[in-house]
Amino acid sequence: MSRTIHRPRPAALAAAAVLSLARPTFAADAATTPEKLPTESVRAKAIEEQANGPVDGYRAKRSATATKTDTPLNETPESITVVTREEMLDQGANGVQDALNYAAGVRSNAYGLDSRSDGTRIRGTAPDEYEDGLRRLFNWYTSNTRVEPYALERIEVLRGPAALMYGQGSTGGLINTVSKRPQAETQREVGVQLGSWNRRQVQADLTGALSEDGEWLYRLVALKRKADTQVDHVRDDRTVLAPSLTWKPSASTSWTLLALWQQDRSGSTSQFFPWEGVATPTANGRRIPTHTFTGDPDWDRYDSDRASLTSVFEHHFDSGWTFKQNLRSSYNKVDYRSLYGDSFGNDITPAAPGTYGSGVSGLFGRFADASLTKVRMLAADQNLEGTVQTGPLTHRVLLGLDVVEYKQASASGIDYPTYYGGSVPLIDVYAPHYGGFTPPTLTANPLSYQRQLGLYLQDQVRLDRWTLVAGLRRDRAASGTEDAPAERHYATSRRLGLIHAFDNGWSPYVNYSESFTPVAAIDAQIFKPQRGRQVEAGVKYQPADGSLLFTAAAYKLRESNRVVSPTATTYAQIGETRTQGLELEFKSSVTRAIDVVANYTYTDIDQQLEQLPRNQASFWGKWRFAVAGIEGFSAGAGLRWMSSFRDVAHAYNGSVTSTAPETPAVTLVDAMVAWENARWRAALNVTNLSDKVYYSTCLSRGDCWYGARRSVVGSLTYRF
């Protein structure tokens, strides 16, 4: 598949591989050429899309996340959203959470503005995170370094259980980030950003061939940022260096090494404010300002360091079979110290227990919590793929073995508010004064580990335009600590899907899938593995010209053995829970000058689980135009809406123990204006244009989470 480019545009071949090399800004006629550079004018074929490569525009046609094979989306009987490089660029995504603002089935800001992790939800559950098809982490913020989107080619969301391909994991789905890789065409850019909260950033992305014959390719992505956040005394500083090298000794063999070094110096924007002061006013009628910081500027921090080396090897045998191996070794360290609010009393002025309250509205209790976590992780996935013909049936067979080993060394300590007998004083949230507490002493925890080994077999059977995807997997998993016996679990997981690709572009499908998640012991309490099962039916529409992509999916998901905490100190596993929903997603080039992304999500979650909005919808549109005969201008606007909802806590016996205040419905507006030619791109991105003050959720346990205020970022990029 190829097309001829009829006008000189040196950036065209780079389409989505480099952050700012967006697809052509205008219609494909010579009259709309943004800039004429005779010495660089080319006539070439566009690069054919691959599952891990650049995409021209917003609409990907292929993905490997669901099947681990390079498969067209309209032949994949599962729900997948691909957020391309160009979409991230146009929407000004500063994190994975931002990049998923316009993805169906995703609650991208489940915990509002959270500098520690990307608090997303897929089909009502916390998704697992993968990077280039390999598991990136097991735990949440205690061992997490957030992903830098500038280093990514695409972000893919696979909705529903995915145990067949990935073993233990969440029931609702997973997020797979795909790194930028070396490209044969020379593409270079440097850029700067200035924005809200004193944001200053420089970045560079360089790629091309090291040898004339293209046997050796390179890429270097680098970024340096100094910034504050909307919360006082919480910064957002980052340094990223991501070199990569590809060796292609022949047409049948390739080997790519992807290295990453990332250093984040931040804090916690999550202050754990109680219901009172956020959802409802305090006794004096005031609400807590969104910039309020209740920690200690000299002590609070969320500093993380990550280093990883990923090997991606592929060899095609003459017999038609292909061997692939992904291997990654990573190290992550997080130094997390936080004075976070005692929101469990649900109010500002403490009232019970005992005599800790002063009666002055605005005083707030805090915990001093500290942890130092070091994680080493080795992940490998190797498989053999080939085609077998049996009569009229074509079998695309995948046989694989994956293994993950995770080791965590940690130390932690906590000090309690004075009214619990600790040394942490109350703080006035309206006039905070810092200091006056004794930091907790860190105590080493037992070394913990998790191991998983899985053997999987998948067959993509094709008959005319029918494709049946069937798979079976066997897992062996173990988790434990150095001073306790290992907990071992075995599981068999299945998946079955059927899709028919009609000539007119419509592809209806059905599928059944399962999940398996071992649960580590808590306070010597042993739990059963968490299991999930899902039935899904849907339809996809993608015409041959690729001008639009529409997906509709309805699902019913059942989960068992989820661990809940009826009180602050007890844990239990609940029985079967049910979630069902409907997801609609639409991406299209309405005209040569207009691109549109729209989605609607309906989620009905079992009341025993943490609640999310029942209804969500979003719309993003981009328009390319000329001003006074000058081509290259574009403008974008987006709307994000979620309905109101209320979180409810249940005891193990099902009785209601706490009902949170209602989280109101909210509508947010984003905007973008840009100008670009073959060399330059200047853009201004604004999120939450009206600077709406809102909270993304109030949890039944007592805390509320503020959403992100207005952010304005200007960027300038030079390509050479």
pLDDT tens per residue, range 619-631: 999 999 999 999 9
Integer Cα distance of 595 and 602 in angstroms:
24
Distances (CA, A) of 168 to 107, 171, 375, 450, 451: 22, 9, 19, 11, 10
Q: SS3 for 155-190, per residue?
A: EEEEECCCHHHHCCCCCCEEEEEEECCCCCCCEEEE
Instruction: For residue 2, tell me if it sits in a domain.
Output: no
Query: What's the mean pLDDT in 252-265?
Result: 98
With 90 as the cut, is the pLDDT of residue 286 above it?
A: no
Residue-level pLDDT at 397: 98
What sign does the dihedral 554-558-563-564 (CA atoms) show? Answer: positive
With 70 as the cut, is the pLDDT of residue 289 above it?
A: yes
Residue-level pLDDT at 153: 97
Across 184-198, 267-281, 357-371, 553-567, least confident range: 357-371
Instruction: For residue 54, tell me if it sits in a domain.
Output: yes
Query: What's the mean pLDDT in 588-604?
Result: 95
Residue 114 pLDDT class (50, 70, 90 cuts): confident
Do 220 and 280 form a contact (C-beta atoms < 8 A)? no
Integer Cα distance of 65 and 79 in angstroms:
11
Q: pLDDT for 389-447, tens place per residue?
A: 999 999 999 999 999 999 999 999 999 988 888 899 988 888 899 988 889 999 999 99
Instruction: For residue 447, tell me if it sits in a domain.
Output: no
DSSP state, residue 431: S
With 50 as the cut, is the pLDDT of residue 21 above it?
A: no
Domain tally, the chain: 1
3-state secondary structure of 116: coil
Residue-level pLDDT at 656: 72
> What backbone torsions phi and psi does residue 611 show, to the nearest 5 degrees?
-90, 155
Residue-level pLDDT at 560: 87
Closest CA to 379 of 135, 64, 129, 128: 135
With 50 as the cut, is the pLDDT of residue 31 above it?
A: no
Closest CA to 615 of 586, 638, 584: 584
Which are the contacts of 384, defined by CB distance < 8 A and separation ≥ 6?
Answer: 321, 322, 323, 398, 399, 400
Residue-level pLDDT at 23: 34
Integer Cα distance of 284 and 670 in angstroms:
34
Quick one: how far is CA 550 from the chain centroid?
A: 22
Its pTM stands at 0.89
Instruction: For residue 404, tell me if it sits in a domain.
Output: yes
Instruction: For residue 4, tell me if it sits in a domain.
Output: no
Specify the long-range contacts of residues 589-594, CB closer than 8 Å, at least 24 apart: 589/57, 589/59, 589/547, 589/548, 592/26, 592/27, 592/28, 593/26, 593/27, 593/623, 593/624, 593/625, 594/621, 594/622, 594/623, 594/624
Quick one: how far is CA 301 from the chain centroid?
A: 23
Q: Tokens for 507?
A: 């592809």
Instruction: For residue 6, tell me if it sits in a domain.
Output: no
Do 169 and 515 form a contact (C-beta atoms < 8 A)? yes
Q: pLDDT for 43-79, tens place per residue?
A: 334 568 899 999 999 999 999 999 999 999 999 999 9
3-state secondary structure of 97: helix
Query: What's the mean pLDDT in 538-563?
Result: 91
Integer Cα distance of 531 and 202 in angstroms:
45
Q: Tokens for 257?
A: 């090494």
Range of the domain at 237: 12-440+454-719
Q: SS3 for 52-93, per residue?
A: CCCCCCCCCCEECCCCCCCEEHHHCCCEEEEEEHHHHHHCCC
With 80 as the cut, is the pLDDT of residue 358 above it?
A: no
Q: pLDDT for 326-353, tens place per residue?
A: 999 999 999 999 998 888 766 676 544 3
Distances (CA, A) of 377 to 103, 176, 302, 380: 29, 17, 21, 10
Residue-level pLDDT at 350: 53
Instruction: For residue 170, tell me if it sits in a domain.
Output: yes
Q: pLDDT for 115-126, tens place per residue?
A: 888 889 999 888
What sign does the dihedral 272-276-278-284 (CA atoms) show? Answer: negative
Residue 389: which CATH number? 2.40.170.20
With 90 as the cut, is the pLDDT of residue 151 above it?
A: yes
DSSP state, residue 235: B
Bridge partner residues of 541 (DSSP):
506, 550
**What whole-number percentage of the chain has pLDDT above 90?**
68
Instruction: For residue 448, tell me if it sits in a domain.
Output: no
What sign does the dihedral 162-166-167-173 (CA atoms) show? Answer: negative
Integer Cα distance of 447 and 458 in angstroms:
36
Tell me which amino acid residue 673 is.
V
